[in-house]
Amino acid sequence: MSEIHKFLFEGLPVRGVLVRLTDAWTEVLQRRASNKSAGAYPLPVQNMLGEMTAAAVLMQSSIKFNGSLILQIVGDGPVKLAVVEVQPDFGLRATATVIGDVAPDASLSAMVNVNNEGKCAITLDPKNRFPGQQAYQGVVPLFGDAHEKLEKLSDVLAHYMLQSEQLDTTLVLAADDKVATGLLIQRLPLQGVGNLAGSLVSEANEDEIGLNEHYNRIAILASTLKREELLTLDVETILKRLFWEETLVLFEPQAGDAVPHFSCTCSRERVSNMILGLGLEEAQSIIAERGDIEVGCEFCGVLYPFDPVDVAHIFKSSSPLPPASAAVQ
Ligand SMILES: [Zn+2]
């Protein structure tokens, strides 16, 4: 079973989360492998997507937010797009679009940042949007401060957390064909000053970035964790090995707690809307060519077939669109 473990360092402004995705992750891979047109991922893509999946669960579990968290990399190399979506109940789905060859030992930049145009985006899409409310999106480049190409997803995301949340964060991520796993260590914003001085709190917080000695010590310990250890050891052993000198307060998972699991949010209705978006003319030309329209979900592999009667129904039941909706823009 997939697991999430949250913990605090007693008396220190530092918290941690450790995730181990097993069944939730292998289902992502199995569904992809059984998609005959796409086929299984090349190894480096599999591992990158696994790290992204673990990271998205870590971020969803550490951001107080009721909505879906979408982590995506838009690449300029053979991997055009990699997307992970995690719901507040930790239902998750992930997919990557690969066009062209990926070397068996391809680095992150060789997959998604060949021409320095790769980007990583994190979107927070609220569950119940009020009218006019937009999803929040933050975009980070795949470069470090000295404009060097980043080769670790964990560095890209730590950068994002520092920029957007103003919080020092250390991530260690690893994935193979059985497990997608990660450790997040984060400095907690200073508390206790309360609401008496709102602006002072945030100034004090900014002054602490990179300077909190407790966080720095624990972050260094966390960063000694090796990929192999993260992949093979159980949660208790990892925490003991890294933090045996610290006092940890572990939040035991409660019955009824959300457990990470594979879940796809696709539906026939959504695909209908997509066909509607094509416009009547385009939809009719596909029908004329192939006899029907069949759309497969990239995430779960479910096929949604629409015969000519279904397609006619989609356009009849919608409010009429201008004949060439693309020309309007
Ligand atoms: Zn689906």
Does one domain contain both 242 and 275? Answer: no
pLDDT at position 93 is 98
CA of 267 relative to ligand 1 center, distance in Å: 7
Same domain (yes/no): 156, 290: no
Distance 265 CA to ligand 1 centre (A): 6
Q: Which domain holds residue 250?
A: 3-262
52 alpha carbon to ligand 1 midpoint, in Å? Answer: 19
Q: Looking at this protein, which amino acid is placed at residue 216?
A: N
CA of 299 to the centre of ligand 1 (A): 5
Q: What is the pLDDT of residue 320?
A: 53
Written as tens digits, the pLDDT of the chain (329 aa) is: 899 999 999 999 999 999 999 999 999 999 999 988 888 999 999 999 999 999 999 999 988 788 999 999 999 999 999 999 999 999 999 999 999 999 999 999 999 999 999 999 999 999 888 888 888 899 998 998 888 999 999 999 998 888 877 889 999 999 999 999 999 999 987 654 433 334 445 555 655 677 788 999 999 999 999 999 999 999 999 999 999 999 999 987 777 778 999 999 999 999 999 999 999 999 999 999 999 999 999 999 999 999 999 999 999 877 555 544 444 33
Query: Which of the listed residues 206, 240, 262 is the one where a domain comes to its end?
Result: 262
Closest by CA position to 274, among listed 263, 286, 289, 262: 286
CATH code for position 127: 3.55.30.10
For ligand 1, the distance from its centroid to the CA atom of residue 304, given in whole angstroms, is 10
**Spatial distance between the Cα atoms of 76 and 74, rounded to a whole number of angstroms:** 7
pLDDT given for residue 96 in this prediction: 97
- Residue identified by tokens 């992150």 is 108
Cα 198 to middle of ligand 1, angstroms? 44
Q: Which of 262, 292, 310 is the last residue of a domain?
A: 262
CA distance to 26, 83, 231, 301, per residue, from 178 (Å):
6, 19, 9, 20
User: Count of domains in the chain?
Assistant: 2
Tell me, what CATH number does 314's domain have?
A: 3.90.1280.10
Q: How many angstroms separate the CA atoms of 265 and 299, rounded?
A: 9
What's the gap in Å between 222 CA and the centre of ligand 1?
A: 36
Longest distance between any two alpha carbons in the chain, whole Å: 70
**Cβ–Cβ < 8 Å for 25, 179:** yes
Which candidate, 14, 2, 36, places its Cα nearest to that of 248?
14
What's the CA-to-centroid distance between 264 and ligand 1, angstroms? 5
Q: Domain check: are 175 and 279 in the same one?
A: no
Q: Please give the distance, rounded to the nearest whole angstrom, from the Cα atom of residue 93 to the centre of ligand 1.
A: 8
Cα(202) to centroid of ligand 1, in Å? 41
pLDDT at residue 253, as a whole number: 76
Question: Same structural domain for residues 100 and 27?
Answer: yes
Per DSSP, helices labelled H in 39-192 are: 43-62, 108-112, 153-165
Per DSSP, the residues of 262-311 read E-----HHHHHHHHHHH-HHHHHHHHHHHSSEEEE-TTT--EEEE-HHHH
Centroid of ligand 1 to alpha carbon of 296 (angstroms): 8
**Is residue 148 domain-shared with residue 171, that is, in the same domain?**
yes
Are both 176 and 209 inside the same structural domain? yes
Q: How far is the CA of 54 from the centre of ligand 1 (A)?
A: 20
CA of 124 to the centre of ligand 1 (A): 20
Distance 309 CA to ligand 1 centre (A): 23
How far away, in angstroms, is 6 Cα from ligand 1 center?
Answer: 30
CB atoms within 10 A of CB 31: 20
CA atoms within 13 A on the CB side of 141: 11
Ligand 1 centroid–CA 301 distance in Å is: 6
Measure 243 CA to ligand 1 centroid, in angstroms.
Answer: 40
Instruction: State the distance from the centre of ligand 1 to the C-alpha of 119, rounded, in angstroms.
Output: 25
- The CA 14 to ligand 1 mean position distance, Å, reads 37
Asked if 169 and 28 sit in the same domain, the reply is yes
- Cα-to-centroid distance, 213 and ligand 1 (Å): 45
Residue type, 200: L
Q: How far is the CA of 237 from the centre of ligand 1 (A)?
A: 36
